[in-house]
């Protein structure tokens, strides 16, 4: 206890330095929108998002300290606090809301209005922040030294390493530039095919790889273990299950297909079988994996909730110290009440009174769980998908029992699930940011206001982003598979009595159970089962590069620098490709994307085109090495 009381932050409570300024808010909002859009694009492609906190912190430090010549670490902290909110809002939204677009494409209901998406994202984000405020004293202060909050601590370390801020920020910006160029070559002018595939002769299996820098970067950032689980799931689908379906079902017409499997394969290859059958198996594996991860976390969840409620007895401290000031609890309670009323009464949000009650109860519970769990295991291991699945199952059953079924009940269920998903994601992000601020000596109230600003900016941008991406390529397509949203759609249809191929779904569920028994993490494996092998092979390539760098025979300090520079460069590549992806989607919507297409006049075709693609992919890998292994640090010079 004494150690906690004696903790001294980097900036003492007695010292007043700039925090919320025009510069920090404007930069933070820009980063929130950019990283939010980039993560939305990435998550819809690969079913995973990456943390924006560290690259946002690096960019903030680089711009404020190096370009603006200001020595204000707490101002940089506000930039990353506002900027990182975009990624969390995007993650919660893209895991659920595209289901509404998928139903609209099937003719089940109308497309959601942009105002509906914006309000759902806004209210979910605000509730996530407000629910976290009374938990700050219990989790961040009282549990200091017990809960490590890995991302929050890492951000503090980045901001404290201010003398290297400019060089590290330049690495992120270089990644953005390189990825933008590669993305424009691949999908803008279409100079080379975006993937290389090989069909096995006399066997219905298929292997290959995409060459996108952002997909490669996911593998590098996640590391070789997670990448290998994803790739193993794809191998099961594409070189085991698909060949078995073709082998045994050559003349068979099996729902949801409408023609013989042999004819389907002859016309569309393994991709046709994946589209009709494997996606349901993968969705079943994802659902099974989400429920398994939630069940495994139940003891920790129960203990977490109990401990947090006990700790809340000391919340709302009346201390006048700057570093102990939160938003007033009366204001928080009023804001939560207003958000709850808005969820129920605003016509644009299809949630009934019962649904609003479910949101508040589940929202506070999962915000509490999320805030503590990210402190223990980090944001990447937070079972947000499992929480969303549990909420969807419960909400859909309740809505059906109360007579709110059909299209309106399905809309209501996905809206409830979306708000809860965003609440859990934002609560976890806010916790990490408040930990960073606690270590640095930030004013909690100002950080909480920064989170609200970031949520508002991201919510205003996410509706347009989803509409743009859907108009350009459509959710559920090869370009934007939207695996998590497809899973949520399947769960709601199943509970409401929709006509689903349950045999395929249960195959996926039992695959998840087998994988769990063997001891392999279920969710990454299940995502691998669901997504195309070409995408996961590209992720695996990134994981292999990371493995090679991790195994270098160099001094530990130099090895850490190399790996971290690679992570920063890859974070920049994800943002850069995401931005160009949004730009190309805009060009596709207005119908001028074809003017850039030079695929018809390039001199390479067939095998030559595959070689050209692999050359571009090699350049992507070399660019990562250039800014990590072959980059000399200022200290070494």
DSSP-assigned beta bridge partners for residue 206 = 199
pLDDT of residue 308: 61
Residue 621: both structure tokens together: 């890998």
Kind and range of the H or E run holding 519: none
- Output phi, psi for 208, to 5 deg: 165, -175
| Residue 444, number of CB atoms within 10 A of its CB | 22
Mean pLDDT value across residues 316-335: 81
CA-nearest of 422, 418, 497 to 455 is: 422
Q: Which pLDDT score is estimated for 53? A: 77
Q: Tell me how far apart the terminal alpha carbons of the chain are, to the nearest angstrom.
A: 44
Question: What does the alpha-carbon distance between residue 578 and residue 41 come to, in Å, rounded to a whole number?
Answer: 6
Angstrom distance (rounded) from CA 394 to CA 388: 10
Per DSSP (E only), the strands in 120-171 are: none
Mean residue pLDDT across the chain: 86
Name, in order, each residue with C-beta under 8 angstroms of 91's C-beta and a sequence gap of 6 or more.
39, 43, 49, 384, 421, 425
- Cα(499)–Cα(483) distance, integer angstroms: 19
pLDDT-derived band at 1 (thresholds 50, 70, 90) equals very low
Instruction: Single out the residue of 369, 362, 376 nearest to residue 302, CA to CA.
Output: 369
Residue closest to 420 by CA, chosen among 43, 120, 90: 120
Helices in 480-555 by DSSP H: which ranges? 483-496, 502-518, 522-530, 533-550
DSSP assignment string, 7-71: ---SS-TT-----S-HHHHHHHHHHHHHHHHHHHHHHHHHS-----HHHHHHHHHIIIIIIS---
pLDDT tens digits along 144-200: 877 788 788 878 877 876 644 455 778 888 998 999 999 999 999 999 999 999 988
Residue 2 confidence (pLDDT): 43
Reported as half-sphere exposure (CB side, CA atoms, 13 A), residue 596 has a value of: 18
Q: In this predicted structure, what is the pLDDT of residue 165?
A: 47
Better-scored residue on pLDDT, 353 or 498: 353
C-alpha dihedral over 524, 529, 534, 539, to 10 degrees?
A: 10
pLDDT at 292: 83
Q: Is the pLDDT of residue 381 over 60?
A: no
Q: What is the pLDDT of residue 238?
A: 95
Give the DSSP per-residue string, 447-485: HHHHHHHHHHHHHHHHHHHHHHHHHHT-TTSSS---HHH
Which pLDDT belongs to residue 469? 92
Share of the chain above pLDDT 70, in %: 92
Q: 628 CB contacts (<8 Å, ≥6 apart)?
A: 549, 562, 563, 565, 566, 569
Distance separating alpha carbons of residues 261 and 242, to the nearest angstrom: 10
Query: Is the predicted pLDDT of residue 586 greater than 90, yes or no?
Result: no
Choose from 319-328, 421-430, 498-507 the range with maximum mean pLDDT.
421-430
Model confidence at 447: pLDDT above 90: yes
pLDDT reported for residue 213:
93
Measured distance CA(300)–CA(313) in Å, rounded? 20
Average of pLDDT values for 40-55? 79
Question: Is the pLDDT at 316 greater than 60, yes or no?
Answer: no
Domain residue extents for the chain = 2-173+297-487
Q: How far is CA 80 from CA 95, 269, 494, 621, in A?
A: 23, 46, 41, 28
Statement: residue 224 has pLDDT above 50: yes
Q: Residue 208's beta-bridge partner residues?
A: 197
Phi, psi of 412 (to 5 degrees): -60, -40
């Amino acid at each position: 206890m004494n150690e906690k009381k004696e903790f001294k932050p980097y900036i003492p409570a007695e010292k007043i330095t700039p925090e919320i300024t025009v510069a920090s808010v404007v930069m933070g909002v820009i980063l929130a929108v950019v990283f939010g859009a980039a993560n939305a694009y990435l998550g819809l492609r690969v079913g995973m998002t990456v943390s924006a906190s560290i690259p946002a912190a690096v960019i903030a430090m680089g711009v404020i300290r190096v370009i603006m010549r200001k020595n204000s670490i707490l101002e940089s902290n506000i930039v990353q606090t506002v900027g990182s909110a975009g990624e969390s809002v995007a993650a919660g939204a893209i895991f659920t809301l595209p289901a509404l677009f998928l139903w609209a494409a099937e003719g089940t209901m109308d497309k959601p209005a942009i105002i509906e998406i914006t309000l759902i994202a806004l209210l979910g984000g605000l509730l996530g922040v407000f629910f976290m405020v009374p938990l700050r004293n219990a989790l961040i202060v009282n549990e200091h030294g017990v809960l490590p909050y890995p991302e929050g601590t890492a951000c503090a370390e980045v901001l404290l390493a201010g003398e290297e801020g400019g060089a590290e920020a330049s690495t992120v910006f270089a990644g953005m530039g390189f990825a933008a160029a590669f993305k424009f070559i691949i999908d803008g002018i279409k100079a080379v095919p975006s993937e290389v595939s090989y069909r096995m002769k006399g066997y219905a299996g298929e292997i290959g790889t995409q060459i996108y820098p952002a997909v490669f970067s996911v593998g590098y950032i996640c590391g070789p273990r997670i990448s290998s689980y994803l790739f193993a799931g794809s191998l099961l689908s594409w070189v085991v299950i698909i060949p078995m379906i073709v082998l045994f079902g050559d003349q068979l017409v099996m729902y949801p297909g409408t023609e013989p499997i042999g004819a389907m394969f002859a016309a569309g290859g393994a991709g046709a079988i994946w589209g009709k059958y494997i996606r349901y198996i993968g969705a079943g594996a994802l659902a099974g994996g989400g429920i398994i991860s939630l069940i495994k976390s139940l003891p920790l969840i129960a203990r977490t909730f109990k401990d947090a409620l006990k700790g809340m007895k000391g919340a709302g401290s009346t201390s006048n110290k700057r570093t102990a000031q939160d938003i007033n609890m009366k204001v928080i309670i009023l804001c939560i009440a207003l958000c709850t009323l808005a969820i129920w009464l605003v016509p644009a949000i299809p949630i009934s009174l019962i649904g609003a009650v479910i949101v508040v109860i589940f929202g506070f519970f999962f915000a509490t769980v999320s805030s503590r769990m990210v402190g223990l295991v980090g944001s990447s291991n937070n079972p947000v998908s499992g929480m969303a699945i549990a909420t969807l199952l419960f909400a859909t059953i309740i809505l059906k029992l109360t007579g709110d079924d059909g299209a309106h009940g399905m809309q209501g269920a996905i809206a409830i699930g979306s708000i809860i998903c965003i609440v859990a994601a934002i609560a976890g992000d806010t916790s990490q940011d408040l930990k960073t601020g606690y270590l640095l000596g930030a004013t909690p109230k100002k950080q909480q206001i920064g989170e609200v600003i970031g949520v508002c900016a991201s919510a205003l941008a996410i509706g347009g982003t989803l509409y743009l991406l859907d108009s350009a390529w459509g959710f559920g397509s090869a370009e934007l598979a939207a695996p998590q949203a497809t899973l949520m759609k399947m769960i709601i249809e199943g509970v409401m009595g929709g006509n689903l191929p349950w045999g395929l779904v249960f195959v996926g569920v039992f695959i998840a159970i087998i994988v769990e028994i063997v001891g392999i993490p279920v969710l990454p494996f299940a995502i691998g089962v669901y997504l195309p092998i070409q995408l996961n092979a590209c992720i695996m390539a990134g994981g292999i590069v990371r493995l090679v760098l991790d195994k270098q025979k160099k001094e530990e300090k130099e090895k850490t620098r190399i790996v971290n520079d690679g992570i920063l460069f890859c974070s920049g590549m994800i943002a850069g490709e995401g931005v160009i992806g949004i730009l190309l989607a805009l060009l596709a919507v207005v119908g001028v994307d074809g003017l850039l297409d030079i695929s018809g006049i390039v001199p390479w075709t067939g095998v030559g085109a595959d070689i050209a693609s692999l050359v571009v992919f090699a350049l992507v890998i070399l660019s990562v090495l250039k800014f990590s292994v072959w980059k000399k640090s200022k200290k070494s010079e």
